[in-house]
């Protein structure tokens, strides 16, 4: 496929991809805010179940939005991976498959786990037993453990895909170095949500990618999007060499100007 054909196909999908990318960025944040009180749930098994029972609506709505956002996050990842591959990036063949599997496991798992918690907490609250040991057995149920493990595997897979998409898009010039590093950091935060329970970094990166895809990013988008060719960013050493060259050229022109005036 020629570079012109690649650019034409990418432009044909750009608006739809950008819209889904924005959903992937916004929905998990809104869902986390809706589900916010649940983050304050007591760690005691018994109190935890009773808390989930009394906040079931927030859990289901918030988890539903988070799950949808996580599920569609595969769209910008696949789009970036395909664009990077078209410009000569070397990406492990398994990466797109991991992105798809990871988004399905994590997105569906988030919703399914919330439903299991709500169902278990409701049954437990109505059982009348309300003992610590019973609560522990409920939360250690096979279904909950299985879905939790599937979600963990999904988060590992989609996090890897985030990192690979950001890294390779940066290498061929589709994303700036800043955007590339933020994307890799966002991937790590999927597994280790440090700093804040809200996925702010992921949301920022996804919304920024959406803006880049449709050409709305301040300063325009990198040239690689428009000509279909790779445009690697210069290394730090190359930047220093270019700056030194520019200084030498400026000094030589200045010296020539002085000599011309003196003559």
Same domain, yes or no, for 125 and 107?
yes
Residue 99 contacts residue 71 (beta carbons within 8 Å) = no
Dist CA 132 CA 146 (whole Å): 22
For residue 224, the Cα-to-chain-centroid distance in whole angstroms is 21
Residues 243, 169 share a domain:
no
Count up the domains in the chain and report the number: 2
- Over residues 10-57, the pLDDT tens digits come to 999 999 999 999 999 999 999 988 886 555 555 677 777 787 888 889
Q: Are residues 193 and 211 in the same domain?
A: yes
Residues 111 and 194 in one domain: yes
Indicate whether 77 and 162 sit together in one domain. yes
Residues 29 and 138 in one domain: yes
Between CA 46 and CA 65 the distance in angstroms is 27
Q: How far apart are CA 185 and CA 176, in angstroms?
A: 14
Q: Do residues 226 and 242 both lie within one domain?
A: no
Please check whether residues 183 and 257 belong to one and the same domain. no
- Is the same domain home to 241 and 115? no
Contact 230, 59 (CB under 8 A): no
How far, in Å, are 92, 170, 175, 208, 227 from residue 233 at the CA level? 22, 8, 10, 19, 16
Burial class (CB in 10 A: 0-12, 13-18, 19+), 237: exposed
Residue 132 and residue 151 in one domain: yes
- Say whether both 121 and 216 belong to one domain: yes
pLDDT value for 39: 53
Q: Which domain holds residue 255?
A: 233-263
First to last CA, the chain: 59
Contact partners, residue 163, CB within 8 Å, separation at least 6:
183, 184, 187, 188
Asked if pLDDT for residue 238 goes beyond 70, the answer is no
Confidence of residue 161 (pLDDT cuts 50, 70, 90): very high
- pLDDT above 90 (res 181): yes
Same domain flag for 167 and 254: no
Show Cβ contacts of residue 180 under 8 Å, excluding neighbours closer than 6 positions: 166, 167, 169, 170, 171
154 vs 235: which has the higher pLDDT: 154
């Amino acid at each position: 496929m020629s570079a012109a054909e690649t650019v034409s196909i990418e432009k044909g999908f750009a608006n739809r991809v950008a819209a889904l990318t924005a959903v992937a960025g916004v929905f998990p944040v809104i869902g986390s805010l809706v589900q916010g009180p649940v983050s304050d749930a007591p760690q005691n098994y018994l109190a935890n179940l009773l808390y989930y029972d009394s906040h079931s609506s927030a859990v289901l709505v918030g988890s539903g939005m988070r799950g949808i956002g996580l599920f569609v996050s595969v769209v910008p990842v696949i789009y970036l991976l395909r664009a990077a591959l078209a410009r000569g990036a070397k990406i492990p063949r398994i990466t797109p498959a991991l992105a798809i599997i990871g988004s399905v496991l994590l997105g569906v798992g988030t919703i399914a786990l919330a439903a299991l918690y709500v169902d278990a907490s409701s049954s437990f609250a109505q059982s009348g037993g309300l003992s610590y040991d019973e609560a522990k057995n409920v939360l250690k149920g096979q279904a909950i453990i299985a879905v939790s493990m599937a979600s963990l595997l999904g988060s590992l897979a989609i996090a890897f895909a985030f990192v690979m998409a950001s890294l390779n898009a940066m290498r061929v010039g589709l994303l700036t170095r800043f955007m590339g590093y933020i994307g890799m950091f966002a991937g790590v935060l999927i597994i280790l949500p440090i700093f804040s329970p809200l996925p702010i970094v992921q949301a920022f990166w996804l919304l920024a990618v959406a803006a880049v895809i449709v050409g709305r990013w301040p300063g325009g988008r990198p040239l690689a999007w428009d000509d279909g060719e790779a445009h690697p960013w210069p290394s730090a050493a190359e930047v220093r060499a270019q700056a030194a060259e520019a200084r030498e050229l400026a000094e030589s022109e200045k010296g020539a100007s002085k000599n011309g005036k003196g003559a």
